Amino acid sequence: MRDEDKPSTRDCSVRAHRAPRRCERHGCSRHTMSANGCERAKLMMTVFPTARTVGFNTRSRVRHHTTRRYPYWPGWCADWTATYADLPDQKLRPYRAFAQFKVSLYKTHEAALVALAEPLDGPTLVLPHGVLMRTRVDNPSVDGDASRQVGAVASVVGNVFISSIGQGRPPAHYGIQAVRAQTRIHHRIQVAFTKSISASAAWPTCPVPLGAPERGIKVVLNICGPKYVTRGVNYNYTVVLANRGQATYGRITLSVIHEDPITRSSIPYRSYRPDCAIWRLAKVKPDKTFRVSFRLPFKQHNDPKGSNLTVGLRADRRSCMGGLTKDVIFVKK
């Protein structure tokens, strides 16, 4: 059983409610968005938000770069660049606010982390949804003028490295204002990337738990899938069940209780209400394994921070003998 999956002692008929835990600080986005290398290049043109949605008046055309002079990090695939501004066709040192963005695709998450470690001097921040980010404020001198501050932001989500630089609005041109404006765009790009990955992802692989329960039926469960999700977006999960005992069970009922209906399943299921899917297994012999994958969205209901799904288990017409609760946390837009 993995750390983020908690045993559930509730009855199978009880509706699943939110009871989240904080995620571990490292590796969240790395595992929920495993890298497919440069094959994701077609998705990158669509991740840039429009100017109006992030507080700017104009955005340049997104440009695709397949060659790079400097810096060149191992595993780099390609770059996509765009500039957000208050006025169209602003010069390099404009009077109004602007933000220049570069989205770089790498073959692996580790390669993207190398890029994150180099360009900025600020500390690395681990955001609640697992994204790594660094920021910096500077006072560069251009033609002897050092009156305007600039802000820079860099972040990594999966195998994508996002970097940006720009300045705030007049008259102060505060660097922190530029950092905040760029951070909004970073969050939009990160959410767009996670949506694209969740829509195209294959069923998650899920290992069979080792050992057997000391009490009750000798059947073990495991559930695998993303912990950080965007509201209303479909995500894939896999549940694996294994008989670790010496007895053969005549019937095992596996149920998934969720606030919103399943949109796709690898194996047909029965349902007596919209928020519950049921699979019935006959003659489950020792060491037999059952695996099912399904796709479902998480919409906001009672808890604004996240949601969950509950996997229940019942054997040979007994009452609910155990289960797991999978908590998820909403990604901030």
**Predicted structure pTM score:** 0.53
Q: How far apart are CA 263 and CA 294, in angstroms?
A: 8
**pLDDT digits over 94-121, tens only?**
567 789 999 999 887 778 888 998 766 6
The predicted pLDDT at position 34 comes to 35
Q: How confident is the model at residue 17 (pLDDT cuts 50, 70, 90)?
A: very low
Q: How confident is the model at residue 318 (pLDDT cuts 50, 70, 90)?
A: low
Count of positions (residues) in the chain:
333
Residue range 244-268: average pLDDT? 86
Q: How far apart are CA 46 and CA 105, in angstroms?
A: 13
Q: Which of 31-40, 45-54, 95-104 shows the lowest mean pLDDT across its residues? A: 31-40
The predicted pLDDT at position 214 comes to 65
The predicted pLDDT at position 82 comes to 94
- Residues 6 or more apart whose CB falls under 8 angstroms from that of 327 comprise 4, 6, 18, 19, 20, 21, 227, 306, 307, 308
Q: How confident is the model at residue 37 (pLDDT cuts 50, 70, 90)?
A: low
Do residues 229 and 298 make contact, with C-beta atoms less than 8 angstroms apart? yes
Over 90: is that where the pLDDT of 173 sits? no
Instruction: Judge if the upstream peptide bond of residue 297 is cis by omega within 30 degrees of 0.
Output: no
The predicted pLDDT at position 2 comes to 42
Residue range 177-190: average pLDDT? 91
Percent of the chain's residues with pLDDT above 70: 76
Q: Which of 15-29, 154-168, 175-189 shows the lowest mean pLDDT across its residues? A: 15-29
For the chain, domains (ranges, CATH) are: 5-21+203-330 (2.60.40.3670), 33-200 (3.40.1000)
**CA 298, 300, 301, 306 torsion: positive or negative?**
positive
Residue range 298-311: average pLDDT? 85
